[in-house]
Copies of this chain bind each other. A is one copy, B any other.
């Protein structure tokens, strides 16, 4: 255990010493079984007590650390729990989805995507690319609106009704959607809810088509899985052929996560 061992000096690639120190303090709190003193942090990291104190105060202000009750020693705080839970939860969803999406990619020979809802829209968080030279690819992490694209629509279709109404209203405003477009969107969402999947053709990208279905955890749609490709291969009829395979995957993933 590391209380009595010096933390090895580690450089940084492109970071700063000050930021390194914050990370090191967090890791020290992690390595210590009980409350850590300001003087202990200072000694371990070879910094002044006042520096150690300041870093700890910043961590406390963000709930990443806290002072142990009845002590002036510091411990990891509630936000550290949330951080770990998030890091684990991200791994859990993507780890569970990866083999299934890879298999779906292999069977369809088209690009498969995992997409998650964020405020105001969605984000693609994983992709498995088609082996074809001409294929559809997306930029992971980039924000996308709800209304254009299969995965956006499927997430919206299976969202809470109140949330859905609000999202449609906001998106109408931000993207200047007319009455006809809104009505068409609502019909699409109704249709999606009946079938459990949605197809799109040329909406986000005029050269692309897609089919998407939701992943549920305890009845809540937490992600979408989609298959997409260039319009030349991804005809509406092709999308309908792919749908059962897709639903099979989303059902297995949903079961695995519950």
Using CB atoms and an 8 Å cutoff, list the residues of chain A in contact with chain B: 1-5, 10-16, 18-24, 26-27, 30, 32-37, 40, 53-62, 64, 68, 70-71, 73, 75-88, 90-91, 116-120, 123-125, 127, 139-143
B79, A19: Cβ atoms closer than 8 Å: no
B57, A14: Cβ atoms closer than 8 Å: yes
Q: List B contacts of A37 (CB < 8 A).
A: 141-142
| Bound CA span A167–B242, Å | 63
Q: List B contacts of A78 (CB < 8 A).
A: 87
| Bound CA span A79–B25, Å | 13
Q: Specify the chain B residue showing the minimal Cβ separation from A10.
A: B61
B119, A35: Cβ atoms closer than 8 Å: no
B35, A141: Cβ atoms closer than 8 Å: yes
9 further contact pairs, Cβ within 8 A, besides A12-B57, A78-B87, A81-B88? A15-B60, A27-B79, A30-B82, A34-B141, A35-B123, A70-B127, A75-B90, A81-B87, A84-B84
- Residue of B27, B34, B142 near A116 (CB, 8 A) is B34
Contacts A57-B13, A118-B32; A3 near B143 (Cβ below 8 A): yes
Q: List B contacts of A35 (CB < 8 A).
A: 123, 125, 140-141
A11, B61: Cβ atoms closer than 8 Å: yes
Q: List B contacts of A140 (CB < 8 A).
A: 34-35, 68, 70-71, 73
- Residue of B15, B24, B34, B120 near A124 (CB, 8 A) is B34
| Bound CA span A118–B68, Å | 17
User: Which 7 A-B residue pairs are closest in the complex by CB-CB distance?
Assistant: A84-B84, A15-B58, A35-B141, A73-B141, A19-B58, A14-B57, A34-B125
Q: List B contacts of A18 (CB < 8 A).
A: 16, 18-19, 22
